[in-house]
Amino acid sequence: MRTQVAIIGGGPSGLLLSQLLHVHGISSVVLERKTRDYVLGRIRAGVLEKGLVDLMDQAGIGARMHQEGLLHQGTSIAYGNESFRVDLQHHAGRPLMVYGQTELTRDLYDARAKEELPTEFEVENVVLHDLETEAPSVSYEVHGESRTLNCDFIAGCDGFHGVSRRAIPDAVKTEYERTYPFGWLGVLSETPPVNHELIYANSDRGFALCSMRSETRSRYYIQCALSDSPSDWSDQAFWDELRRRIPEPQADQLITGPAIEKSIAPLRSFVCEPMQWGRLFLCGDAAHIVPPTGAKGLNTAASDVHYLFTGLRQYYEDGDANGINQYSQRALSRVWKVSRFSWWFSTLMHQFPDQQAFDRKIQLAELEFLRSSEAAQAAMAQNYVGLPY
């Protein structure tokens, strides 16, 4: 089989890249390790920056997102008995869109099916070949049958545990990593959200986040120990702990219900440099991970897709290789700024196991500064709604 761009990974990065290329007449094949239903069963991000919303529109599949997504003009931050709102529209001139990664991925898969774009599911033993030549290829197996995909370029969109990053020789790449000594226990429930906007709460008992997927479906998180497992937390224990961590007026109004999903995610900051090797380009979680505080994972995957798609378009439409040659440099410049923001917001909002009284005082002083300073809120809002591409 032959295509112009082989895309490894059928998560949001790979699907969005493929759809954008298709709109501009550039062919691609998506190779996905799991089934479509498995990919759609993962509950992950929920907040989209305008850059990602615009890319969905450019790909011609933004209609349901605009119809069902919720625009948020602000977000609340709580600590101790204090709570304040950061006005995103006022400070950064644009809102955020609340629309689940699951829905966005479903829209992308539906569009693929409608346009009959090629996807191979349940691929195994994916191996990348001849990356330093102008004729790379990917070999893989589907249900025991060996296949080869010849192409001009390979996009490694296969997430943190994928094979693409490992194809870059160790002597060439540097990996930067910070792990955090806690996780997030997340619950999805068919209940109305406790607040019409998100609440990020730093309490003495640990971080909590009130988010949502729609006006009838809520997503809540609490900081937990890395050694915890979801089965350690009954629904009742989760709701009781959430109530203790959020401001009293909201705790009193919280509507609870059965958890329809409950999972624990570890927190990690990770960046691989470079994001390009020969004809291989890494996109999204394959190249970098941010802790979820600030909802930047999916959005940073989208900015990579933008840089790569723009470069490939220039290459195929104008014969100009500048964009693809500068891909890694352009993407990393934004990735590091987003990594800084996600690290800062995580450090500000969580209780660290080795935290001393001094560290807590510094956190509270910074929160107080953020509450009272227009300049600090503007800096936060600009990062939170998304830095320009």
Residue 207 in contact with residue 223, Cβ under 8 Å? yes
Kindly tell me which residue out of 19, 164, 293, 303 binds ligand PHB, with binding defined by CB under 6 A.
Answer: 293
Active site residue 72: yes
Work out what residue 271 binds among ligand RFL, ligand PHB, none; the CB cut-off runs from 5 to 8 Å by kind: none
DSSP secondary structure string for all residues of 226-277:
TT--GGGS-HHHHHHHHHHHS-HHHHHH-----EEEEEEEEEEEEEEE-SEE
Least separation in angstroms between CB 259 and ligand RFL: 15
Q: Which amino acid is at 205?
A: R
Q: Answer yes or no: 173 catalytic.
A: no
Measured between alpha carbons, how far is residue 73 from residues 46, 68, 197 in Å? 15, 16, 8
Q: Choose, by CB under 6 A, the member of 101, 119, 346, 377 that binds ligand RFL.
A: 101
Residue 316: active-site member: no
Decide: is 193 part of the binding site for ligand RFL (CB under 6 A): no
Comparing CB distances to ligand RFL, the nearer of 256 and 300 is: 300
Indicate whether 211 belongs to the interface with ligand PHB (CB under 6 A). Answer: yes
Tell me the C-alpha distance between 4 and 236, whole Å.
Answer: 52
Residue 107 interacting entry, from ligand PHB, ligand RFL, none, C-beta within 5 to 8 Å by type: none
Please, what sign has the CA dihedral across residues 219, 9, 315, 116? Answer: negative
Is 129 part of the annotated catalytic residue set?
no
Does 386 interact with ligand PHB (rule: CB under 6 A)? no
Contact letters for ligand PHB, residues 186-205 (x by CB under 6 A): ------------x-------
Respond yes or no: is residue 118 known to be catalytic: no
User: Cis bond leading into 266, ω under 30°?
Assistant: no
Closer to ligand PHB by CB, 46 or 156: give it. 46
Cβ count near 111 (within 10 Å) = 18
Residue 8 binds which one of ligand PHB, ligand RFL, none, with CB within 5 to 8 A depending on kind? Answer: ligand RFL
Any contact of residue 219 with ligand PHB (CB under 6 A)? Answer: yes
Q: Which of these is catalytic: 200, 315, 316, 327?
A: 200
Burial pattern 18-39, b for ≥16 Cβ within 10 A else e, equals: bbbbbeeebbbbbbbbbebeeb
Q: Which of 41, 39, 22, 37 is nearest to 116 (CA)?
A: 22
Q: Which does 293 bind (CB under 5 to 8 A by kind): ligand RFL, ligand PHB, none?
A: ligand PHB
Q: How many helices (H) and strands (E) does the chain have?
A: 13, 20
Q: Collapse the DSSP code of 87 into the 3-class scheme (helix H, G, I; strand E, B; otherwise coil) and give the result.
A: strand
292 scored as a contact of ligand PHB (CB under 6 A): yes
Q: Are 206 and 351 in contact (CB under 8 A)?
A: yes
Collapsing DSSP to helix, strand or coil, 355 comes out as coil
Interface mask toward ligand RFL for 31-60; x: CB under 6 A: xxxx----x----xxx--------------
Nearest distance from residue 373's CB to ligand RFL, in Å? 26
Closest CB 223 distance from ligand PHB, rounded Å: 12
**Which residues would be at the binding site for ligand RFL (CB under 6 A)?**
8-14, 31-34, 39, 44-46, 101, 123, 126, 157-159, 162-163, 265, 284-285, 292, 295-298, 301
